[in-house]
Structure 1
Amino acid sequence: MSTGAVGRAYPRLEGREKVTGTARYAVEYPVDGITYGWAVPSAVVRGRITRVDTSEALASPGVLAVLHHGNAPRLAPGPEPELWLLQEPTVHYRGQYVAVVVATSLEAAREGARLVRIDYDAASHSTVLTDDHPGLYQPDHVNPSYPTDTAEGDFDAGYAAAPVRVDVTYRTPAYHNNPMEPHATTAQWHDGRLLVHDSNQGASSVRATLAELFEVSPESVRVVAEHVGGGFGSKGYAKAAVVLTALAARHVDRPVKLALTRQQIFGPIGYRTPTIQRVRLASDADGRLTAICHDAISQTSTIREFAEQTAVYTRSMYAAPHRRTTHRLVRLDVPTPFWMRAPGECPGAYALESAMDELAIAVGIDPVELRIRNDTEVDPDQGRPFTSRNLVTCLREGAQRFGWADRDPTPRARRDGRWLVGTGVAGSSYPARARPSSARATARPDGSFLVQINATDIGTGARTAIWQVAADALGVPPERVEIHIGDSILPTAPVAGGSMGTASWSWAVIRAAQALREKLRDGGPPTGEVTAEADTADEVGGQPALPRYAYGAHFVEVRVDADTGEVRLNRMLGVFAAGRVVNPTTARSQLIGGMTMGLSMALHEEGLLDERYGDWVNHDLATYHITGCADVESIEAYWLDERDDELNPAGVKGIGEIGIVGAAAAVANAVHHATGVRIRELPIRLDKLIGVSDLA
């Protein structure tokens, strides 16, 4: 029987620990005999290491060892070639970790790294993404396993015959994840067993990777990630820091702590690929789409292929009889791109939702109405009905809350002194997925319960959400439930990513709780502990392949200085349909965080790569600008009371990413409405708008 914990705004279980500084992160655990590691990046873009001189470094006080390809412990070649670190002299990109210094203090390790001398035989390189690059190719599939291209109907004929057409190209730069806590690890070996405290989004997968690389059994590896200071996708799998630290600890036979610097996480741990996106839309005179084409170009590295699924968003968002999507890649001498909040959907939605705004202007109808007219109950890609699709409700409720009905559609129609004022809208969607997971529930003689699952709370409030779900599933007040997460010795669980963490974990927790209650049904209070476990692999795998999505609508008001081109956000409002909300406080935090990140994408963030040297030139938070609180004057997030019986036992959809999808487009559309100037290359900065008062 439910106790009603789900749906209540409980404070975070770990909140007191975090605000008092007692919550321990990856490199904050006290360890006897600790040493410190410092990574050494390559100084060339492409080539081979010809000589490593460690004499000065080893002579420096406190330095214990310098690991490089000539002396590092051997790793087994695995499925992730980026993690085959310090094993060969080949350099694939600028900033690749080619050595690590271990010392008795952090300062000594840093100084030792400065003294390492490395000679290279440099080769020519290519680091710039262009739409006519000779290396463009068609990958076999795009992430995670979507078809590269899709086609239905005859796009070319449908487009040519339409009375209204839009053909536009949008560009997005590289974006860097920049979690507050950098990639960091404490590693120690004891009798062939490896213990790591690591900042990651999934300890189960990190354990499996380390076991494979170091050729030990998974049972010999323990990965602890009790508290994690953000990830945004960059910590979704094992990364360089944990491998370097484990290598160093094995080499010196002492515990090692290693935390990458802010500068060092720009590139080697992943980033969102730049994109070049051509979107062509055609409609009848009333704005009903007849043809859609989305062609996306992005980059990958020469080490491994990462194919961002940029155009996949377009496949299911709006209906048209003639549709085509394509993806093309270029292999460049750059770090491999990686997951970043709403990979694919985020840049893809920016292009499609911006193009929809341009189509609305071409047709002469309201952009909210255009989206409503092109809504569909059947997934255009799969041909099956959506399990739930409340996009139109989100648009209508958002318009009502925002005051959209009072909008004058004419660009440059509103002015407040020197400020031009405009409003914009965009739709949003993100898949609602779940992965197999395991959980354990234990009843104790004192009437309390212990629930264990190797989930990861990366700052989202997942620990608290699981606790609430567990309490309701057990039918007891949440105060009687204790939650253990973030340790690979616990039942295996998938990563915190892809907006499927809570959906996956709660499924297993509910099944474990149900199994425990069945065990306890016929007896009295247990005289000892009673435990039940559950694994959802068969149940999740047996789900019908139906189109399951969360939806949303963004509304934005901006002001633009007519003389300088400065853009400021007046207000931002989002309405979302994301299934059952477990905790309103943490849900609102996630939605607002995603919306703010979308604003940052639109106005501020841009990874700048110097093509001569292959290095990120703005590799710190002083020069890589991120939206702060002062940039957000008013931001509101609301959600519908949505029920979807085809999701999971908890009825939840992920909300970690839906907030960012479409947000940048809403900002860009608002800037156009304010100024009459359409910026199709992000970010929208004053250099692209300066002097807008001179425009007619």
Structure 2
Amino acid sequence: MKPLDMQAQAKAGAAFLGENLPPLQDNIVHYPGQFIALVVAETYEQARAAAYKIKVRYTLEKAAVDLQAELPNSKKPKMFMGEEAQVNDGKAAAPLAASAQKVDHKYSTPAEHHHPMEPHATVAVWEGTDKLKLYDATQGVGLTSSIAAYFFGLKPENVNVVAPFVGGGFGSKGLWLHTLIVAMAAKAAGRPVKLALTRQMMQTNVGHRAATIQRVALGTDAGGKLSVMRHHTDTYNNLTQFFEPSGKQSLVLYQAPLREVTYNVAHLDRSTPTFMRAPGETPGTFALESAMDEMAYQLKIDPVEFRIMNHTAKDPMKGHDFSSEFLLDCYRTGAERFGWSSRSMEPRQKRNGKYLVGYGMATATYPGGRSAASVKVLMNSKGDVTVMTASIDIGTGTYTVLAQTAADALGIPVDRIDVKIGDSSLPPAPLAGGSQTTASIHPAALDACVLLRKELTTMAVADPDSKLNGRNPEEIGFAEGKLFLKGDEQKNDTYLNILRRAKRNEIEACATTLPVSGAGLTVPSALCTPSQTPPEQNSDIKQYAFHSFGAQFAEVWVDEDFGTIRVKRFTSVQDVGRIMNEKTARSQVIGGVIFGIGAALMEATDYDKRWGNPVTRTLADYHVPVHLDVPPIDVHFIGKPDPHISPIGARGIGEIGITGVSAAIANAVFNATGKRLRDLPLTPEKFFD
């Protein structure tokens, strides 16, 4: 394999790796569970039996296994994903000391693992010695293709990755190099090879959310206006520059003259941390929004009102207006739908039988990202339309919503649309991560449909047999599979008749949209003609800041005798721009809230303190919410389009649903019991500490 070379990898589109460790290329073991060999057999049972017979000799070295113990050796990274990591380091001390009111507390979150229902799996097929096909569970067919092409020294067009359906990912799929191991095996065996990771391997080989120890301090004036915010995170990494960026939301939320956000990152000999649903904001909103609740209680101000009085309509760091921002509407709508007005300021005021009942809330936020993307649209002589792009559906509804966009843009029924995605040979699209798929691919789909309509219009206007012959294209509208003269719809021409008279079996158009702020995670190929993107679209560097916002409200019941916490109902109100499909969008938020309930009450990966290996290795001991843990979840969208991110007006929605959930639950526990729990998960023994 080619060695690691960040510049060469970046040029090849293969720099975005889960870990900087090409597999089987040296004899150093960096963490428990690291792949060191592969056994190939006719059956799964034979492979497992043979693997157990392998004998490995190790030279032991002392491992770094405990975050607290390794913090004295930690480093302060200068950058994170192209942004300054240490913001106003040391500048918050003086304004905090001068604040009329202040809170300063430590919060912690454990290591967590993704655990999608479908584990990672790959089938590798070589065609000769220079062509490779991978059927893979990946969140990015283009990325996986580029990685394989780089490390095997293949032409990019000779690596095809196919993933028409992916059973969940949450950030764990597409960055890891076991796909290279199975391709190596297929080449050695001279036949296709399938590798399916076990549930236990999901704990060791495909990333996780690193544990954090966070310190949040807030200062206000006597009236409750924030004067300073300080958010420090201790965390770790291994074999990567990535670390859990838990201070991200503290650079975006609330009006404060000064905010300090800093990190210490230790090295631990654990499997490599990676992106996990709303990386940074998930643990970060727990700490910040818990601290906001603590400050509101200290000031004796309602937590919703405290947030409203400290609200900002501008990006606090850049000074830019948000492209579209309706957070105040989220607070007020959520409070009304939830029945917040019946909450008591003082804890322990509500009971239901033996249970103490509490209400809590928190703010949700996540960046509104958009990357470059290409989409091709093809219409045949029967009127059927195929929409093609190398995007992915990880359960988010990409197939459905792409069909809707094309149907609307062409004026034809959804059932005449066939969507082809999940194939790296299709026009390129970004990784399905960072809540950017909808915002990225739909502007390109819209532009491709507009180009298709324009060509049909040109054909009709030039055709002497068309009722639209000689007309100005600006006078022509479209609906129900035809073009018509605006103001006189009797003068029309169907798409099918236009194609038939032109003796065309099909017509196609392809468009690439390039957001002003950059190409993001994809490098468009020459397949499509770039569209001229208006300068106001996604120009976050020059003019706007792009973020989504929301408000989370939780009711909990706490059994004082046993310390058990139940979430009895939940309200989530989100401002994510235009809602493309109410059903799939609502499903995304419900999934995020359930994810957040897991983080709040039960999810944690425990490690052996001697060797550093995970001991919670299956879904029997790594607990996730089941049906009885999930209450009724009321989801509401503000639904106002973002006029600047794209003509579609939609931002991503997959990740914001989890942010703020654990804080809303923890804040509700305080309201119920008067006991403040600052360490996740909120398990019964912590209630009695």
Query: TM-score, structure 2 length as denominator?
Result: 0.87
Structure 1 unaligned spans of 5+: 1-73, 692-696
Name the structure 2 match of 1:548: 546
Measure how far apart 1:132 and its partner are: 6.8
Check if 1:386 corresponds to 2:381: no
Name the structure 2 match of 1:580: 578
Give the distance between the partners of 2:290 and 2:219, measured in 1 at CA. 14
- Equivalent of residue 195 in structure 1, options 133, 137, 140: 133
Give the distance between the partners of 1:661 and 1:641, measured in 2 at CA. 19
Q: Where do residues 54-453 of structure 1 align in structure 2 (5 Å cutoff)?
A: 74-79=1-6, 80=17, 82-130=20-68, 133-142=71-80, 144-151=81-88, 154-191=91-128, 192-235=130-173, 237-301=174-238, 303-453=239-389
Name the structure 2 match of 1:565: 563
Measure how far apart 1:499 and its partner are: 0.5
Whether the 8 Å CA contact 2:89–2:262 is kept in 1: the answer is no
Measure how far apart 1:229 and its partner are: 0.4
Whether the 8 Å CA contact 1:241–1:260 is kept in 2: the answer is no
Q: Where do residues 601-616 of structure 1 align in structure 2 (5 Å cutoff)?
A: 601-616=599-614
Measure how far apart 1:657 and its partner are: 0.6
Partner of 1:210, secondary structure, is helix
Give the distance between the partners of 1:135 and 1:104, measured in 2 at CA. 48
Measure how far apart 1:531 and its partner are: 1.5
Name the structure 2 match of 1:33: none
Give the distance between the partners of 1:591 and 1:353, measured in 2 at CA. 19
Give the distance between the partners of 2:256 and 2:636, measured in 1 at CA. 30
Give the distance between the partners of 1:112 and 1:594, measured in 2 at CA. 40
Partner of 1:394, secondary structure, is helix
Measure how far apart 1:241 and its partner are: 2.9
Cα separation, partners in 2 of 1:132 and 1:250, compared to 1, 3 Å: closer
Letter of the structure 2 residue corresponding to residue 139 of structure 1:
P
The superposition leaves residues 612-664 of structure 1 with CA deviations (integer Å, 9 ceiling, x where unpaired) of 12110001100000011110122111111312211112110111011000000
Partner of 2:433, secondary structure, is coil
Partner of 1:121, secondary structure, is coil
Give the distance between the partners of 2:548 and 2:458, measured in 1 at CA. 41
Give the distance between the partners of 1:440 and 1:539, measured in 2 at CA. 21
Give the distance between the partners of 2:265 and 2:91, measured in 1 at CA. 24
Mean CA deviation greater in 101-110 or 544-553: 544-553
Count of aligned pairs = 615
Letter of the structure 2 residue corresponding to residue 570 of structure 1:
K
The superposition leaves residues 161-188 of structure 1 with CA deviations (integer Å, 9 ceiling, x where unpaired) of 1111000010000010001100100111
Give the distance between the partners of 2:175 and 2:265, measured in 1 at CA. 24
Give the distance between the partners of 1:305 and 1:540, measured in 2 at CA. 23
Partner of 1:463, secondary structure, is helix
Give the distance between the partners of 2:418 and 2:426, measured in 1 at CA. 14
Give the distance between the partners of 2:364 and 2:334, measured in 1 at CA. 12
Whether the 8 Å CA contact 2:162–2:424 is kept in 1: the answer is yes
Q: Where do residues 497-508 of structure 1 align in structure 2 (5 Å cutoff)?
A: 497-508=433-444
Measure how far apart 1:540 and its partner are: 5.8
Name the structure 1 match of 2:667: 669
Cα separation, partners in 2 of 1:85 and 1:154, compared to 1, 3 Å: closer
Name the structure 1 match of 2:511: 534
Letter of the structure 2 residue corresponding to residue 165 of structure 1:
K
Give the distance between the partners of 1:637 and 1:100, measured in 2 at CA. 46
Measure how far apart 1:461 and its partner are: 1.0
Cα separation, partners in 2 of 1:119 and 1:562, compared to 1, 3 Å: same
Measure how far apart 1:152 and its partner are: 9.4
Letter of the structure 1 residue corresponding to residue 686 of structure 2:
K
Whether the 8 Å CA contact 2:71–2:265 is kept in 1: the answer is no
Whether the 8 Å CA contact 1:312–1:344 is kept in 2: the answer is yes
Name the structure 1 match of 2:619: 621
Measure how far apart 1:200 and its partner are: 0.5
Whether the 8 Å CA contact 1:198–1:224 is kept in 2: the answer is yes
Measure how far apart 1:359 and its partner are: 0.3
Partner of 1:133, secondary structure, is helix
Give the distance between the partners of 2:63 and 2:304, measured in 1 at CA. 46
Letter of the structure 1 residue corresponding to residue 421 of structure 2:
I
Give the distance between the partners of 1:326 and 1:152, measured in 2 at CA. 6
Give the distance between the partners of 1:510 and 1:309, measured in 2 at CA. 34
Whether the 8 Å CA contact 1:170–1:681 is kept in 2: the answer is yes
Give the distance between the partners of 1:132 and 1:109, measured in 2 at CA. 38
Measure how far apart 1:537 and its partner are: 2.7
The superposition leaves residues 78-104 of structure 1 with CA deviations (integer Å, 9 ceiling, x where unpaired) of 544545101110111111000110000
Measure how far apart 1:146 and its partner are: 2.1
Partner of 1:114, secondary structure, is helix
Name the structure 1 match of 2:679: 681
Partner of 1:278, secondary structure, is strand
Whether the 8 Å CA contact 1:203–1:224 is kept in 2: the answer is yes
Cα separation, partners in 2 of 1:623 and 1:374, compared to 1, 3 Å: same
The superposition leaves residues 582-617 of structure 1 with CA deviations (integer Å, 9 ceiling, x where unpaired) of 111111100010011111100010010112121100
Q: Where do residues 463-542 of structure 1 align in structure 2 (5 Å cutoff)?
A: 463-524=399-460, 525-526=498-499, 527-537=504-514, 541=518
Cα separation, partners in 2 of 1:223 and 1:256, compared to 1, 3 Å: same
The superposition leaves residues 410-462 of structure 1 with CA deviations (integer Å, 9 ceiling, x where unpaired) of 11111222111111000111111100011111121112211100110011111
Partner of 2:168, secondary structure, is coil
Name the structure 2 match of 1:591: 589
The superposition leaves residues 299-330 of structure 1 with CA deviations (integer Å, 9 ceiling, x where unpaired) of 101x2221222101101111101211111211
Measure how far apart 1:678 and its partner are: 0.7
Q: Percent identity?
A: 41
Whether the 8 Å CA contact 2:439–2:651 is kept in 1: the answer is yes
Letter of the structure 1 residue corresponding to residue 512 of structure 2:
D
Whether the 8 Å CA contact 1:76–1:215 is kept in 2: the answer is no
Letter of the structure 2 residue corresponding to residue 532 of structure 1:
A
Whether the 8 Å CA contact 1:470–1:513 is kept in 2: the answer is yes
Cα separation, partners in 2 of 1:131 and 1:145, compared to 1, 3 Å: farther
Whether the 8 Å CA contact 1:153–1:323 is kept in 2: the answer is no
Partner of 2:390, secondary structure, is coil
Query: TM-score, structure 1 length as denominator?
Result: 0.86
Give the distance between the partners of 2:617 and 2:20, measured in 1 at CA. 21
Measure how far apart 1:285 and its partner are: 2.1
Give the distance between the partners of 1:154 and 1:682, measured in 2 at CA. 29
Whether the 8 Å CA contact 1:146–1:309 is kept in 2: the answer is no
Measure how far apart 1:475 and its partner are: 2.5
Whether the 8 Å CA contact 2:71–2:234 is kept in 1: the answer is no
Whether the 8 Å CA contact 2:64–2:269 is kept in 1: the answer is yes
